[in-house]
């Protein structure tokens, strides 16, 4: 049995024309504001990828770059400025923020109507409920669109999510649950990880640990979605984060022969996350 490669770059390319058409159908081109504090290299690289994709589909991306000496109050004031600015349709606060800032208070400052990342309370409750009109956080929507492209349905399947973060693990679990999967969430305190992951028809890994899932932890024929984006400094250049090598949470070479389908890293969920972000923005504009 040959393994299907879930090729995020190819799907992104396939979805691009339709996205560009959706943008053209809007009364005016949308603008996404990305607020960055400080100059983490990986954040800068991710933002560059977003700007580049925005250009391709006719979306303006306004990169608001603030010094890491900014106070919480000043940052919230800046976000409120974006909230009030009718020429800005979506707002992203690039995470992580410097430790001194209260990430929760800052993400809550985003107007829910412009909350492209779906991190405000308003958005969280909606995606958790699984409302039809709920937007999903970009990574989750990226996985959703990737599965949809390959016609992989979660209905009645055993989905195992490794990771329980508010950014990735929890929204992915809620999504799969709302898609009628039976969902198990594992994490660092799971007693027997392999026993759990081997039961997965669909294994979604968002542990943030390079090469964490090996062949012993995967059932023959399982669909393996690797959400891990671990950057290893000083290695060869890759397209998602320049100047760093990206590796996933799954040991691709070991797992690929066993899996029924698998995402590579880079080139799997990463490119889909960028697509999903702009899908969210366009949905916001169409409301």
Catalytic residues: 50, 94, 117
Distance in Å, CB of 142 to its own copies, minimum: 21
Residue 78 is a binding residue for its own copies (CB under 8 A): no
Considering only residues 106 to 125 of the shown chain, the ones binding its own copies according to CB under 8 A are 120-122, 124-125
Please say whether the beta carbons of 229 and 248 come within 8 A. yes
Residue 164 is a binding residue for its own copies (CB under 8 A): yes
Residue 21 is a binding residue for its own copies (CB under 8 A): no
Among 48, 187, 209, 245, binds its own copies (CB under 8 A): 187
Q: Dihedral angle at the C-alpha atoms of 105, 106, 111, 114, nearest 10 degrees? A: -140
Nearer to its own copies (CB atom), residue 156 or residue 257: 156
Q: Of 59, 57, 60, give the one whose Cα is nearest residue 19.
A: 57
The set of long-range contacts for 47-56, using a CB threshold of 8 Å and a minimum separation of 24, is 47/94, 48/242, 49/240, 49/274, 50/274, 50/277, 53/274, 53/275, 53/278, 54/278, 56/16, 56/20
244: left (phi over 0), alpha (psi -120 to 50) or beta: beta
Residue 197 is a binding residue for its own copies (CB under 8 A): no
Residue 170 is a binding residue for its own copies (CB under 8 A): yes
| Strand spans (E) along 95-229 | 158-162, 182-186, 202-205, 223-226
Among 17, 98, 156, 221, binds its own copies (CB under 8 A): 156
Number of H helices, E strands in the chain: 10, 11
Degrees, nearest 5: CA angle 193-198-202: 110
Among 49, 57, 185, 247, binds its own copies (CB under 8 A): 185
Residue 184 is a binding residue for its own copies (CB under 8 A): yes
Residue 287 is a binding residue for its own copies (CB under 8 A): no
Nearer to its own copies (CB atom), residue 59 or residue 124: 124
Which of these ranges, 82-90, 143-151, 165-173, 216-224, lies near its own copies under the rule CB under 8 A? 165-173
Residue whose entry in the numeric block shows the structure tokens 């590796």: 247
Distance in Å, CB of 13 to its own copies, minimum: 34
Residue 129 is a binding residue for its own copies (CB under 8 A): yes
Q: Of 210, 123, 203, give the one whose Cα is nearest residue 171.
A: 123
Positions in the binding site for its own copies (CB under 8 A): 120-122, 124-125, 128-129, 155-158, 164, 166, 170, 173-174, 177, 180-187, 189-191, 196
């Amino acid at each position: 049995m040959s393994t299907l490669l879930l090729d995020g770059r190819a799907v992104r390319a396939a979805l691009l024309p339709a996205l560009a058409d959706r943008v053209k159908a809007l009364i005016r081109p949308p603008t996404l504001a990305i607020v960055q504090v400080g100059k983490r290299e990986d954040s800068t690289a991710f933002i560059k990828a977003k700007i580049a994709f925005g250009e391709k589909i006719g979306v303006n991306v306004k990169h608001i770059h603030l010094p890491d000496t900014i106070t919480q109050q000043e940052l919230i004031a800046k976000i409120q400025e974006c909230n009030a600015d009718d020429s800005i349709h979506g707002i992203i606060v690039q995470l992580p923020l410097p430790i001194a800032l209260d990430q929760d208070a800052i993400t809550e400052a985003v107007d829910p109507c412009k909350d492209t990342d779906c991190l405000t309370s308003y958005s969280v409750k909606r995606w958790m409920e699984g409302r039809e009109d709920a937007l999903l956080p970009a990574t989750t929507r990226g996985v959703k669109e990737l599965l949809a492209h390959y016609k992989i349905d979660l209905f009645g399947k055993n989905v195992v999510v490794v990771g329980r973060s508010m950014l990735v693990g929890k929204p992915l679990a809620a999504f799969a649950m709302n898609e009628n999967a039976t969902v198990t969430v594992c994490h660092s305190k799971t007693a027997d990880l392999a026993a759990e992951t081997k039961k997965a028809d669909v294994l979604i890994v968002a542990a943030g640990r390079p090469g964490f899932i090996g062949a012993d932890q995967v059932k023959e024929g399982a669909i393996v979605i690797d959400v891990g984006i671990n950057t290893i400094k000083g290695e060869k250049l890759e397209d998602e984060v320049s100047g760093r090598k990206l590796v996933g949470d799954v040991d691709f070479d070991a797992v690929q022969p066993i899996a029924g389908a698998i995402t590579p890293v880079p080139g799997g969920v990463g490119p889909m996350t960028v697509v999903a972000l702009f899908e969210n923005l366009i949905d916001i504009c169409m409301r």
